[in-house]
Amino acid sequence: MIRFTAARYDEIAKRIGYSFKDRALLRHALTHASSQRKHDHYERLEFLGDRVLGLVVAEYLFKTYPKHREGLMSARHSQLVRGDICAEAGKALALSDFIVIGQGGRNRGLSVNATIMGDVVEALIAAIYLDGGLETARHFILSNWHPFLTSRNTVEKDAKTFLQEWALGRSLPIPAYSVVSREGPEHAPIFVVAVQVAGRDSIQGKGKNKRVAEQDAAVRFLARENIRT
């Protein structure tokens, strides 16, 4: 079990470039629900961090690309706030060194995967926002998202749009998405969505809402069919 000593708090501050006034916020952001400490984990913070990230990225796109239409900005936005992008940012900061998973989770073989890493980064954004304000959170996001903001790979059309245009270009019906299941607690649901393209096997994706799950399903379809990897 990782212990949050004064030295560890200092180490994290150096890693993320911010020193918390309220260290409990930082501890919560880095603690998985398997710790079984009531409200002492990242799920509620993740909810807020997702919104702060979305706002900062939307503002960045609005100001940086004054001639871009709403549709293109929306596509870029959906790419930049994806869970796997958050996970990449967390991996670059080596946050796995500090993430706490409870004994029960470890007994089930739970480890710091991309989903947990992405959730932790969103929670960390919320913690920084609550502790240091929006400007501090904006600085953290723009600093750590710089590789993605300037990469062509994250400004291409989002997977769902790309798949629809691919299908229409082959005179196929528009891909159909359907909710397979909704799991998890009310405040942090996980949606499973299937996408069906005529003549191809369906494939499922997951996400914290239907939009994200649809994008994930489209990404998986494109990769499986070697359309866009």
Which tens digit of pLDDT belongs to each residue from 71-116?
677 778 878 998 889 999 999 999 998 998 876 666 576 667 888 8
Domain interval for residue 218: 159-224
On the question of pLDDT at 194 being above 90, the answer is yes
Helix, strand, coil percentages for the chain (3-state, nearest 5): 60, 10, 30
Query: Collapsing DSSP states into helix, strand and coil, what is residue 180?
Result: strand
The active-site residue, picked from 122, 158, 214, 216, is 122
> What is the domain count for the chain?
2
Residue in 10, 11, 34, 5 with CA at minimum distance from that of residue 97: 11
Kindly state the tokens that stand for 100.
């706490």
Is residue 119 domain-shared with residue 175, that is, in the same domain?
A: no
Tokens standing for residue 186? 């009310």
- Last residue of some domain: 154, 180, 196? 154
Residue that finishes a domain, picked among 138, 154, 170: 154
> What is the Cα–Cα distance from 32 to 222, expressed in whole angstroms?
32
Q: Using the 3D structure, point to which of 112, 138, 154 is the last residue of a domain.
A: 154
Annotated active-site residue 214? The verdict is no
Catalytic: which of 46, 50, 88, 158?
50
50 included as an active-site residue: yes
Sign of CA dihedral 202, 207, 211, 215: negative
pLDDT-based confidence at residue 70 (cuts at 50, 70, 90):
confident
